[in-house]
Amino acid sequence: MFESDNTLKTYRLDKSPEDILQLFANAVKIFDHPLKFLTYQGPVNKGQGNVCIVETGAYKMLQDKHNLIKLNLNGQILKGKFILTHIKGDNWLLTHETESSSS
């Protein structure tokens, strides 16, 4: 979730923050959430799922184009430059840009 214009732009990731640092994550853009979800933990979807906070921090938007979003994350686990690349429909790919991958 990224706070923007009094809402949370939300992506569902298929990996934990630790795994994203080593690999990449498939990300699915889901509906924007209200700001109260920054701190909400508990049941969702009428009890069909559960939300828990696994990472917090700040971010800086470096680039926000239709099919490409570059962010600098400063979280507890996720630190550095990350890229969200649009694949198709609501599907995106989140990658960690390391120094060796930007050379």
- What is the mean pLDDT for each group of 10 consecutive residues in the chain (103 residues)? 92 89 90 92 88 92 94 95 96 86 50
Q: What sign has the CA pseudo-torsion 12, 1, 49, 51?
A: positive
Q: Distance (Å, rounded) from C-alpha 31 to C-alpha 34?
A: 10
Residue 51 maps to a domain: yes
Would 50 be classed as within a structural domain?
yes
What domain range is 40 assigned to? 2-97
- Residue 18 pLDDT: 87
Report how far apart, in Å, the C-alpha atoms of 32 and of each of 18, 29, 58, 77 are.
24, 9, 18, 23
Amino acid 50: pLDDT: 86
Burial of residue 29 (number of CB atoms within 10 Å: 0-12, 13-18, 19+) = middle
Residue 28 within any structural domain of the chain: yes
Asked if residue 6 is part of any domain, the answer here is yes
**Does the pTM of the predicted model rise above 0.85?**
no
Helix, strand or coil for residue 65? Answer: coil
What per-residue confidence (pLDDT) applies to 47? 87
Residue 103 lies in a domain: no
Residue 43 lies in a domain: yes
Does 46 fall in a domain? yes
Domain count, the chain: 1
Residue 34 lies in a domain: yes
